[in-house]
Structure 1
Amino acid sequence: MSALHIALVGPCAPPAGGMANQTAQLAQLLAASGATVELVRSNAPVRPAWLGSMRGLRAMCRLLPYLRALWRAAGRAEIVHVMANSGWSWHLHAAPAIWIGRLRGKAVLLHYHGGEAAPFLARQGKLVTITLARAHAIVVPSAFLARLFGEYGLSALILPNVVDLERFAPGPPVSRDHPLILVCRHLEPVYDHATALRAFSLVRHAVPHARMTIAGEGAELPRLRQLAAALGVAHAVTFAGALDQEGMTRLYRAADAMLNPSLADNLPVSILEALASGVPVVSTNVGGIPCLLEHGTTGLLVAPGDAGAMARQLVAVLHDTEGAQRLRAAGIALASAYTWQYVGPRLLAQYRRLSRLPHPGWYTRLVARPLFLLQQRLKGHAGAALLHELEVSQWLSPAALAQLRLERLRQLLAHAARHVPYYRGLFARLDFDPAKVHDLRDLRCLPILRKADISAQRDAFRSAVAGPLQRCNTGGSSGEPLIFYLGKARVSHDVAAKWRATRWWGVDIGDPEVVVWGSPIELGAQDRWRAWRDRVLRSTLLPAFQMSDVKLDGYLRRLRQLRPSMVFGYPSALSRLARHALAQRVPLDALGTKVVFVTAERLYEEQRKLLATAFGCPVANGYGGRDAGFIAHECPEGGMHLSAEDIIVEIVGQDGQPVPDGTPGAIVVTHLASADFPFIRYATGDVGAISTAPCPCGRGLPLLHSLEGRSTDFVVAHDGTVMHGLALIYILRDIAQVRAFKIVQESLLLTRVLLVCVPPLADDARQRIAAQFKARLGADVAIDIAEVPEIAAEASGKYRYVISKIAPPP
């Protein structure tokens, strides 16, 4: 964060208020985090002072100095962070900040507050959303606003308001004869102080000595004073005006209850401050309030405008000591989730994401937009449109994402039941009705699909209404090759998933890319059309199966010539290339490469370190295969995000039943875009675990907690103990002479070890290797060690370290 320069645009006190306080607090917290913060005040004082009392004239006098300050600050900053509200404040302050940020070529984060967003967007949605869509990121304090923005096709990340627990904390318990009810909102009609006063007059019948303090200022003050007098409670009501945070701290600690009577609201900071101060809250159930408070647990909720209900709940708080204490304890616990310790990492992750946004040149923009769209249309694919959809859906809440997946699953199952012979027969035998699927867990009614099932009835998996299909096969590195077919929909979804993930790292379609990939069969399919396409897309393919020293020297020359933004390929092949570069002292860390993206094999930590050192950039892991599709990709915050819009992932144990989150098991996938040749509950042969923890990046996509590797990456000891191949890899990795190796477990009684060594191993070193292997696999296991000049790649172009020919556990 030390190098990040942020232009923070928003109101500041005076006058004090929720958004003004949040702006000031945010500026302090960001500065303490190491960022350079330039505050652009949207409500600067007007001179001469008499102009400040004239609202329209005051706004116009502020506008030109504000725009000038905004233009200058945006020019100096990397990110423009805009605090926004509804109404004229949007048009005069937020909208200009977004457009100026974009004109200055800066990343723009819109931080939208305000419970009146719904009527505002209903009135002016067409105009407002044009500007909203220009922000690179939208954050809102509550699920209420996130859902509202979603209705307008806009994706918003929930970033709660921050409460300072050091400032707002419970005071010592005090027994008071004159209990105090607190209202903390500006004196504006939307906050309905009139109903609060009527409720207070009713409270006084049950609690005659009760008092009320209203903190805030506004044009409603004369009317509210008159109402208090008419109700006969003027002597018990104090209009405290606008208070600074010290004054509010004292007021919270003196209060016995807080009343929030709003007619529209979002996530009021005043409620968070009251909760943190141990003050029970009675609030209307409008806007985002039900997303914050649970009635009867963390607060008491009533309908807006219902003075009688407000009075009854306030009296309950004042009379029921034990109930009030439960509310206080629950409120204090809830407020702890709204601290900078929780919110800060999520905001800083957004800043990091925005700082990595692609700043493409004209050629990349040309390729990523019109040319990519044209290429997809010529092929009959929908990758361009799907990419846009995925970039929106990645920010959906887990609940919204689950609903999207459920709808797509039901469509896939219904299609399979009508048009795919295998599933039509299977569903009939099981009496399985896709129309009765109401939960993703209903998939468990179907058996797990294995490669042998597809191989035995391949034609029965083809949809009767499928369009042209592409014949594919897995490399057979697991010992069981598979022939299957892909339709255009599935290919389109895979293309979109890949490019969404690369954009996370600042790499777009058309940026120079080097791909180290492919078997001789794949490379033989590179016809003139594909060659022309790759030249236009600036994608260069280097064969992964041809990696002699002479070839590697040529690859290094190509890398230095092309200066790719991304290097993509097998981790084993890229590691081989990186080791050669380091051995030849050919620097690759000044090429401008933004990310090394690896996939199709397990990525070992030593490989990650090697590649990061050699290329001088982060290493991103991708998980998937030709059969299962792109299952998960790593984001810059370290989360391994599932492509959840397209793929349902289940983790099952040896009995085929689901295992708890965080527990490793067999990975079973259902690809929702595979209707032409359905993969439903397909056993990938891989082992991993699921996590429900959120990623700091804020995406709603679930995470793989761990990816252990293929089941054939595991070896079985003579006594039946199953262990990961790393147990054997570690033995060889630390031997200086070993330049390359391969371990093949032929049977429970024989394991072969192929080594490339310089210089050759001495007999005692061989004996030590054999002894350590026997210690893990069993004393009766024969260890056959052979030194070879080179270890060839698999037919797929991959370099596999461990292969077990023993059937893995189910």
Structure 2
Amino acid sequence: MFVFWLTHTWLVDLFNWTLQFKGFDIAFAKAELARIQSIPEDQYQSYIEEKKQAIVAYHKQHNAFYKQLTSQQKSNAWNDLPVLTKAHLQQPLQERLSNEYTRKNVYVNKTSGSSGHPFIFAKDKASHALSWASFQDRYAWFDLDINTSKQARFYGIPLDFMGYRKERLKDWLGNRYRFPIFDLSEPQLKKIHQKFTATAFEYLNGYTSSIVLFAKYLKQHQIILKESCPTLKACIVTSEMLFESDKALMEIQFGVPVINEYGASELGLIAFQNSQDAFQVDSELLYVEILDDQNMPVPHGESGRIVITSLYNKAHPFIRYDIGDVGTLSRKSTPKKPILEKLTGRTNDIARLPSGKVVPGLTFYYVTKSVIEEDGNVSEFVIEQTALDTFKVIYTAQRALTPEEEETIKLATYKYLEEGLRVLFEKVKKMDRSKRGKLKQFVSKLPN
């Protein structure tokens, strides 16, 4: 009986156990998050100010990169702090770590480069554990448990042997089944639906555009997904814009609520749709500002650049960090419960291939990551599709890509998309940008 109880408990908490095993103290993080949430509304502004000043003071004392960045600060006022851009971070990680941290005692990852500015970042283990505690807290709003709720995951996956196996292992530990989104043609969408009929999934999670394509397939075939998979509770979409028309389509075809999630790998969960259908900003671990072109806060209800401070990451400074999106905080926002009324950005086109395959623009993250290394040579990049079989990689860099690097990207393109494609390269001095100043990672120039 004891052995059964021990095994059952371990399996039920497998994801949390994995975090603990890796040194991310999820038990402490959950307790700390609960403590923060217990702070009364009338004391919450003081909590935020205290954490803002503490994280700035820490990095000014312990982080040479941030100390140099703030050396020209005119005063100690918050609004005089520099706004950190992704371009600032395109240098070796070791030069950006705080004194007490090395690669061996931090969580290290790479951004997707969806805005055209890829870089490597770090989070200290306590901060990373807090991020996971926040995810688990928000999912519980909809009766979802990361440990036990089976997830249908619509994401990319590395196709090299080790990368593929690593992600599949992580999926198993995270109680999820991944549908690679590199091919969303009709036959593949049919297979995806068949998997739902045989698996007790509780929620979908993944790239908005990919899940929308699945919903369109279901509509075409007059299928309500919950009728095929009665255990389904919700759909969580992330990484790209969620339009109201797409949300309505998915809720009809899936038969469950569609929840909007806004996050970034370097920050964690930024905003999550609550049960009242409001896009609630994380005010526990982050401080979110909306700034104008002079880096000054705009009143609630007005649009501006989304700038975020991570209040707990001591390994790497994300202080007044411009994430590259534009948004608006609701006039109903309070210090404890900010509401993101409008979000502009993170939308990607769809690539269509000669074979009939359909892939989301975010697929090119997996293609280009093969040469986006820590040296920061490639500063910005955009992939343009100019014909069914032709893609152009436009980039800015300190030096041109070598023939070997170009060949690596071509081979990755064949692996993730299909053989026989033409891949062209163009190094430019400066990127053409949208009116908002944000690059789209992928642009299709094909007729609709």
Does the aligned pair in 2 maintain the 1:582–1:614 contact within 8 Å? yes
**Among 515, 519, 522, the residue aligned to 2:153:** 515
Matched, 1:792 2:359: yes
Does the aligned pair in 2 maintain the 1:368–1:508 contact within 8 Å? no
Alpha-carbon spacing, 1:546–1:790, altered in 2? closer, same or farther (3 Å): closer
Match of 1:499 in 2: 136
**Among 615, 619, 628, the residue aligned to 2:258:** 619
* Residue identity opposite 2:359 in structure 1: A
How many Å apart are 1:472 and its aligned residue? 2.6
Does the aligned pair in 2 maintain the 1:404–1:645 contact within 8 Å? no
* Residue identity opposite 1:563 in structure 2: A
For structure 2, the 5+ residue unaligned runs are 366-381, 386-430, 438-448
How many Å apart are 1:401 and its aligned residue? 2.7
* Residue identity opposite 2:120 in structure 1: I
- What CA distance in whole angstroms lies between the structure 2 residues aligned with 1:516 and 1:581? 16
Aligned partner of residue 688 in structure 1, secondary structure: strand
Compare CA radii of gyration and give the structure with the larger one.
1
How many Å apart are 1:483 and its aligned residue? 2.9
Matched, 1:548 2:115: no
- What CA distance in whole angstroms lies between the structure 1 residues aligned with 2:63 and 2:159? 30
How many Å apart are 1:611 and its aligned residue? 1.2
Residue correspondence of structure 1 range 14-25 to structure 2 within 5 A: none
- What CA distance in whole angstroms lies between the structure 1 residues aligned with 2:6 and 2:341? 38
Alpha-carbon spacing, 1:416–1:566, altered in 2? closer, same or farther (3 Å): same
Match of 2:211 in 1: 574
How many Å apart are 1:506 and its aligned residue? 0.8
Alpha-carbon spacing, 1:673–1:797, altered in 2? closer, same or farther (3 Å): farther
How many Å apart are 1:574 and its aligned residue? 0.6
- What CA distance in whole angstroms lies between the structure 2 residues aligned with 1:457 and 1:797? 23
Does the aligned pair in 1 maintain the 2:45–2:336 contact within 8 Å? no
Does the aligned pair in 1 maintain the 2:298–2:304 contact within 8 Å? yes
* Residue identity opposite 1:382 in structure 2: D
- What CA distance in whole angstroms lies between the structure 2 residues aligned with 1:690 and 1:791? 35
- What CA distance in whole angstroms lies between the structure 1 residues aligned with 2:357 and 2:94? 40
Alpha-carbon displacement from aligned partner over 1:714-770 (angstroms, at most 9, x marks no partner): xxxxxxxxxxx9xxxxxxxxxxxxxxx65xxxxxxxxxxx889xxxxxxxxxxxxxx
Alpha-carbon displacement from aligned partner over 1:141-194 (angstroms, at most 9, x marks no partner): xxxxxxxxxxxxxxxxxxxxxxxxxxxxxxxxxxxxxxxxxxxxxxxxxxxxxx
Aligned partner of residue 686 in structure 1, secondary structure: strand
Match of 1:449 in 2: 84
Residue correspondence of structure 1 range 368-383 to structure 2 within 5 A: 370-383=13-26
Matched, 1:398 2:37: no
Aligned partner of residue 484 in structure 1, secondary structure: strand
Compare 400-409 and 412-421 and name the one that shifted more: 400-409
Does the aligned pair in 2 maintain the 1:381–1:492 contact within 8 Å? yes
- What CA distance in whole angstroms lies between the structure 2 residues aligned with 1:610 and 1:384? 38
**Among 478, 501, 507, the residue aligned to 2:115:** 478
Does the aligned pair in 1 maintain the 2:29–2:126 contact within 8 Å? no
Alpha-carbon displacement from aligned partner over 1:617-658 (angstroms, at most 9, x marks no partner): 101101111133211111111121111111111101122221
Aligned partner of residue 90 in structure 2, secondary structure: helix
Match of 1:410 in 2: 53
Does the aligned pair in 2 maintain the 1:628–1:684 contact within 8 Å? no
Identify which of structures 1 and 2 has the higher relative contact order when contacts are C-alpha pairs closer than 8 Å and 6+ apart: 2
- What CA distance in whole angstroms lies between the structure 1 residues aligned with 2:181 and 2:7? 26
- What CA distance in whole angstroms lies between the structure 2 residues aligned with 1:789 and 1:534? 28
Alpha-carbon spacing, 1:404–1:622, altered in 2? closer, same or farther (3 Å): same
Does the aligned pair in 2 maintain the 1:386–1:492 contact within 8 Å? yes
Return the TM-score normalized by structure 1.
Answer: 0.41
Match of 2:198 in 1: 561
- What CA distance in whole angstroms lies between the structure 1 residues aligned with 2:355 and 2:38? 51
Does the aligned pair in 2 maintain the 1:588–1:616 contact within 8 Å? yes
How many Å apart are 1:501 and its aligned residue? 1.1
- What CA distance in whole angstroms lies between the structure 2 residues aligned with 1:476 and 1:368? 35
Alpha-carbon spacing, 1:447–1:392, altered in 2? closer, same or farther (3 Å): same
Aligned residues: 368
* Residue identity opposite 2:158 in structure 1: P
> What is the identity percentage for the equivalent residue pairs of Structure 1 and Structure 2?
25
Match of 1:806 in 2: 433
Residue correspondence of structure 1 range 131-280 to structure 2 within 5 A: none
Alpha-carbon spacing, 1:615–1:394, altered in 2? closer, same or farther (3 Å): farther
Alpha-carbon spacing, 1:570–1:370, altered in 2? closer, same or farther (3 Å): closer
Does the aligned pair in 1 maintain the 2:209–2:360 contact within 8 Å? no
* Residue identity opposite 1:561 in structure 2: A
Match of 2:287 in 1: 648
How many Å apart are 1:452 and its aligned residue? 1.1
Matched, 1:662 2:301: yes
Alpha-carbon displacement from aligned partner over 1:191-221 (angstroms, at most 9, x marks no partner): xxxxxxxxxxxxxxxxxxxxxxxxxxxxxxx
- What CA distance in whole angstroms lies between the structure 2 residues aligned with 1:637 and 1:679? 30
If each structure's helix is expressed as a fraction of its own residues, which one has the higher value?
A: 1
Return the TM-score normalized by structure 2.
Answer: 0.72
Alpha-carbon spacing, 1:655–1:368, altered in 2? closer, same or farther (3 Å): farther
How many Å apart are 1:382 and its aligned residue? 2.2
* Residue identity opposite 1:629 in structure 2: G
Does the aligned pair in 2 maintain the 1:367–1:536 contact within 8 Å? no
- What CA distance in whole angstroms lies between the structure 2 residues aligned with 1:363 and 1:531? 25
How many Å apart are 1:570 and its aligned residue? 1.0
How many Å apart are 1:512 and its aligned residue? 1.2
Root-mean-square deviation over aligned CA pairs: 3.5
Aligned partner of residue 496 in structure 1, secondary structure: helix
How many Å apart are 1:405 and its aligned residue? 2.5
- What CA distance in whole angstroms lies between the structure 2 residues aligned with 1:610 and 1:789? 24
Match of 1:463 in 2: 98
- What CA distance in whole angstroms lies between the structure 2 residues aligned with 1:536 and 1:454? 31
Match of 2:338 in 1: 702
Match of 1:133 in 2: none
Does the aligned pair in 2 maintain the 1:511–1:538 contact within 8 Å? yes
* Residue identity opposite 1:515 in structure 2: R
How many Å apart are 1:556 and its aligned residue? 1.5
Alpha-carbon displacement from aligned partner over 1:493-527 (angstroms, at most 9, x marks no partner): 22122111110011113111111113426995354
Does the aligned pair in 2 maintain the 1:517–1:797 contact within 8 Å? no
Match of 1:423 in 2: 66
Does the aligned pair in 2 maintain the 1:514–1:564 contact within 8 Å? yes
